[in-house]
């Protein structure tokens, strides 16, 4: 099974936890001082928020898979389609150890495709990180995040 993933930057974690808990009619599956995540079954979405971004809004989208085989299949489809793929391999981010890679759509939207291997007690175990205040907003590589996702001025 695949699960859609959305990560948003927010200004006030507490207010947003209250809002999304009410909207989803359930509390987050994980809460940290700067992060919360809902693993929704209906609809199946991994929805995460954090206070780590420089601007509020959607950080990236993604597809989370349940197995290494599913991730290998998605990776093979991306390569067969000749999509530019930035492979992180096994890495840590968002309180998890994952095998992941990144794609960028024609508008510059970052897409993470990943298999979560385990939870970890810190946002990231990156070697360059000296403290949580200097940690990147999310773990998408800078080249992937060079184009921001801006709110639309029109509705659907």
pLDDT at res. 155: 41
Six-digit token pair at 97? 């150890």
Does residue 72 form part of some domain?
A: yes
Does residue 92 form part of some domain?
A: yes
pLDDT at res. 109: 81
Does residue 142 form part of some domain?
A: yes
Does residue 126 form part of some domain?
A: yes
Number of domains in the chain: 1
pLDDT at res. 99: 94
Does residue 141 form part of some domain?
A: yes
Total residue length of the chain: 156
d(CA 15, CA 26): 15
Six-digit token pair at 20? 């999304």
Q: Provide the residue-wise pLDDT of the chain in tens; the chain has 156 residues.
A: 889 999 989 989 999 999 889 878 899 999 999 999 999 998 899 999 999 877 888 888 888 999 999 999 999 998 888 888 899 989 988 889 999 999 888 778 888 999 999 999 898 886 544 344 444 445 666 555 543 343 433 443
pLDDT at res. 142: 58
Burial letters 116-132, b for 16+ CB under 10 A, else e: beeeeeebbeeeeeeee
The CATH number covering residue 55 comes to 3.10.180.10
Question: pTM, whole model, 2 decimals?
Answer: 0.72
Does residue 67 form part of some domain?
A: yes
d(CA 59, CA 80): 27
pLDDT at res. 24: 86
């Amino acid at each position: 099974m695949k699960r859609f993933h959305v990560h948003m930057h927010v200004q006030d974690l507490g207010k947003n936890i209250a809002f999304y808990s009410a909207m989803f009619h359930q509390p987050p599956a994980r809460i940290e001082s700067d992060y919360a995540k809902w693993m929704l079954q209906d609809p199946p979405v991994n929805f995460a928020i954090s206070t780590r971004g420089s601007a509020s809004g959607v950080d990236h989208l993604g597809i989370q898979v349940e197995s290494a085989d599913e991730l290998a299949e998605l990776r093979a489809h991306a390569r067969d389609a000749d999509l530019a793929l930035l492979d992180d391999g096994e890495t840590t981010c968002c309180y998890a150890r994952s095998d992941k890679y990144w794609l960028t759509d024609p508008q510059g939207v970052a897409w993470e495709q990943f298999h979560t291997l385990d939870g970890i007690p810190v946002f990231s175990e990156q070697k360059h990180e000296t403290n949580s205040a200097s940690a990147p907003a999310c773990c998408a590589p800078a080249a992937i995040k060079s184009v921001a996702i801006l709110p639309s001025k029109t509705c659907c």
